[in-house]
Chain A
Amino acid sequence: MLVLKLFWEFFKIGAFTFGGGYAMISMVKTALVDKRKWLNEDEFWECITLAQSLPGVFAINMALYTGFKISGKSGSFGAMAGAALPSMIIIVLVASFIQNINGLKTVKDIFAGIRPCVIALILVPGLTMLKKAKLDRRTFWIPVLACLAVCLLGISPMYFIIAAIIGGIIWAKIVIRKS
């Protein structure tokens, strides 16, 4: 039953995600953490970190890891199916029936309203996650540097993830040696 509920939560989210997978973060948090209380905040941000650090579609990774945390392997498949299905249904319908959706003025107007909302919905979880990362004087520059390098220099985010993993392993080695 939990699998079905997971499927349904992600299905609803998938049907209302505009502007890509990052826009899903707020919705998934609202549904799974705030409303259903299936995950606590820490578990949720852990899933987001994993989802972003691995290759593949971010939204699918996010569904897989939160689904797994909540209800194991079957949960992850239920969540993934829910996240992908609305897209597939809508695209197949649109591709079959509508020739030029972006030529319609009403569609343009509606998206003019949705776009700034989506940016805000991506920004808010980014800020919440910063708070969760418990930054101090030694670490506050990490997100700043990552953000600037990607925005201004167009460096692939992948290098930052790899650097964080290698840095973390070295850090762990030092900690273990000391103890």
Chain B
Amino acid sequence: MVFLQLFWVFFKIGLFGFGGGYTMVSMIRMEVVDTYGWMTAGEYADLLALSQMTPGPISINAATFVGFTQGGILGSLIATLSLCLPSVILMSFVIALFFKHKESPYVKKPMALMTPVVAGLIISAAVMMCDKESFTSVLSFVIFGVTVVAHYFFKVNPILLIVLSGIAGWLWGIYN
């Protein structure tokens, strides 16, 4: 029964969730805390912190976590797969529509308008993350500046930059 509920909750979120991990995470909270009462609000806040601290897309982390607490490994698999399933189903439609009619103005013109919108949305995601929690010291600004220059101008591998930033933060913590 709980497996069916997990499937239904995360399938819905995968189908209607939109606008990046943070929006989905609040949808998950509504279902998990308010509708089903699987967790308290406090437990969900802990889960969220954990989802942000562990690697991977935040909503995948949250789904795996909720599924695991409700139904073990099988629960986590069902929750995560159900979250991805709508994307897979939608993709077959999009491929049929988009890739087959690529040269049609009905595809080209909407894409021409969607691209600048998406660029604006990605930048907004970066802007909204700029708060006191992200810029705690001089080091934060240095890391930010160095990453922009290193990645934009010198195409330094982002994984390397993340590892180096983590090490810098760790050392800074030790000496302060």
Contact = CB atoms under 8 A, between A and B. Distances in A.
Interface of A: 12-27, 30, 34, 45-46, 48-50, 52-61, 64-65, 68, 76, 80, 83-84, 86-88, 90-92, 94-95, 101-102, 105-130, 132-133, 135, 139, 142-148, 150-151, 156-158, 160-161, 163-165, 167-169, 171-172, 175-176
Contacts of A80: 84, 88
A118 B162 contact: yes
A112 to B, nearest CB: 5
Contacts of B112: 168, 171
B173 A165 contact: no
A-B pairs with the 5 shortest C-beta distances? A113-B169, A168-B110, A87-B56, A109-B173, A143-B120
Main SS at interface, chain B: helix
Contacts of B69: 95
A24 B129 contact: no
B76 A92 contact: yes
A164 B110 CA distance: 6
B58 interface: yes
B148 to A, nearest CB: 5
B116 A168 contact: no
A22 B125 contact: yes
10 contacts: A17-B57, A27-B158, A49-B118, A58-B20, A61-B87, A110-B173, A129-B122, A143-B116, A164-B114, A168-B109
Interface residues of B, number: 100
B35 interface: no
Contacts of B114: 49, 53, 161, 164-165, 168
Contacts of B88: 64, 76, 80
Given A22-B125, A123-B123, A113 B53 contact: no
Given A13-B159, A20-B57, A116 B144 contact: yes
Contacts of B98: 50
Contacts of A59: 56-57, 60
Interface of B: 14-24, 46, 49-61, 64-65, 68-69, 73, 76-77, 80, 83-84, 86-88, 90-91, 94-95, 98, 104-106, 108-130, 133-137, 139-141, 143-145, 147-148, 151-152, 155, 157-159, 161-163, 165-170, 172-174
Nearest to B23: A156
A172 B15 CA distance: 28
B55 A60 contact: no
B116 A86 contact: no
Contacts of A107: 53
B68 A91 contact: yes
Given A20-B58, A91-B64, A172-B106, A55 B120 contact: no
A68 B109 contact: no
Contacts of A86: 55-56
Nearest to A98: B50
Contacts of B155: 30, 34
